[in-house]
Amino acid sequence: MLLLVARGSGSAAESTRANPIDALIGKPPPPLVVGSWIQGGPIRSWQPGKVYVIDFWATWCGPCRAAIPHLTRLSQRATNDVEVIGVSISEAQETPEDTAYVQRVRAFVRKMGDQMTYPVAVDTVDRRMHATWFKPTGTGGIPTAYILDRKGRVAWAGIGDPAVIDRIVSEVLAGTFDYARESARQQQAEAEALSRSAVDIEAARKRASGTDARYPGYRAAMERGDSAAALASLNAAFAADPSSEVAGAYQWKLMLLLQRNRVDPVNDYARELIAKHGTNDDIMSFLSACIVATSDEARFDTKLAWQAAKRSADAAKPDSRWQQFARWRLGWAYYHLGDRVKAAESIHAALAGIHALKGRIDFDNLEAECTEALRLMQPTAPAPR
């Protein structure tokens, strides 16, 4: 999935919930402040009359890698009118000062060769592009991209496949793009997904075996990459047989919601899981791992994240690997609620557990994560936003 951000001539479709991207539409984007240019560049200003696609990606992201050749073809077809820029974000760092990711990106771009010919940059070591460009979209997932119109303004926001990208860029170039029309098109697509799901469900019931029997329509939708229909199929299965959700399919639904990059549906489902399965430690553990922010900015409802984290930490087996991860997440959950004292207590408990079990259990880099969290949570550090 690729998120496009651009501006249209129409007004946004009315919604009962605020979309963070709405605040970007029709305005200049934030300053382009990257760590370094790996290929092409530097680009210091937006050329009037040219449409820009700024793609946020990472070397570890499968959908990002799949989109790269398409972006290259797009840039080559409209050299004078369209500029594609790739910005690598969220690359792994051992410490906040670690810059080894720059060489990893450089090696990746070199290996891609003529499949990735457009300018490529990497984020700053303190992740400034992540904070100023990526976070304001509220998408939470990559690849995420901005499309700027001929006047250097953010033009559209949406999730689309390569064909959608081409269409929107073409319309922005022609001056025919309409935001309201595109929003209506997306709503129609959701309605059509429900119809496809109904067909899938009926066909699966006729086969009546394995996954098709318990989650009719889900497999067919996933095989064609139809996440909307897959969600509809899961919802129908859960309604018909509530035990099918607890059997593990709640993970499928939660991951689909996360991949669709929409905050409110994830919060809604988290609230539902806590209400219905709050004493199920497996569900609470998985939920907390998905919605507790282990960074200085929370994305999902902080109270819901804390509830899931608290239930998970309380249920964790003593002196286990998971207990220390659960304590670490609970510390972050307290932090985002504004309780730095309890946040630090939970992180210190995780560190104590790590030290006591060192040599017997591999905690990966959790000790370093805890140490960095405590540094951030000091009273003199800025409060969470």
Domain ranges of the chain: 2-177, 277-385
Read off the pLDDT of residues 198-254 as tens digits, 9 standing for 90 and up.
777 676 665 555 555 778 888 888 887 788 888 888 988 898 888 889 888 999 999
DSSP annotation of 130: I
Taking alpha carbons only, the member of 65, 55, 140, 125 closest to residue 92 is: 125
Q: Which of 14-18, 98-102, 348-352 has the lowest mean pLDDT?
A: 14-18
Distance of CA 206 to the CA centre of its chain: 36
Helices of type H across the chain = 62-77, 100-112, 128-129, 135-137, 162-174, 179-207, 210-214, 218-223, 227-240, 243-244, 250-259, 263-277, 281-291, 302-315, 321-337, 340-357, 366-376
The residue behind tokens 């919930």 is: 17
The third-level CATH classification (topology) of the domain covering 277-385 is 1.25.40
The predicted structure's pLDDT at residue 1: 36
Average pLDDT value for the chain: 84
- How many residues appear in the chain? 385
Neighbours of 89 (CB within 10 A): 24
pLDDT of 96 > 50? The answer is yes
Cis peptide leading into residue 379 (ω within 30°): no
∠ CA 26-28-29, rounded to 5°: 110
Looking only at the bridges linking them, the beta strands covering 120-122 and 82-88 are parallel
The predicted structure's pLDDT at residue 4: 41
Q: b/e string for 286-299 if b means 16 or more Cβ within 10 A? A: bbbbbbbbbebebb
Q: Which amino acid, one-letter code, is at 220?
A: A
- Confidence band of 63 (pLDDT split at 50, 70, 90): confident
Read off the pLDDT of residues 174-192 as tens digits, 9 standing for 90 and up.
999 887 787 677 778 777 7
Give the whole-angstrom CA distance, residue 188 versus residue 223.
22
- Contact predicate 1/259, CB 8 Å: yes
- Confidence band of 159 (pLDDT split at 50, 70, 90): low
CATH, domain 2-177, list 3.40.30.10, 1.10.3720.10, 3.40.50.300, 3.30.70.420 = 3.40.30.10
In terms of pTM, does the model score above 0.95? no
Looking only at the bridges linking them, the beta strands covering 51-57 and 82-88 are parallel
Structure tokens at 220: 């067919």
Sign of the four-CA dihedral 292, 62, 134, 157:
negative
The predicted structure's pLDDT at residue 187: 73
Give the whole-angstrom CA distance, residue 200 versus residue 295.
40
CA dihedral of 63, 65, 67, 68, whole degrees rounded to 10: 170
Average pLDDT estimate for 355-366: 88
Give the whole-angstrom CA distance, residue 182 versus residue 169.
13
Q: What is the DSSP string of 250-280?
A: HHHHHHHHHHTT-HHHHHHHHHHHHHHHTT-
DSSP annotation of 365: T
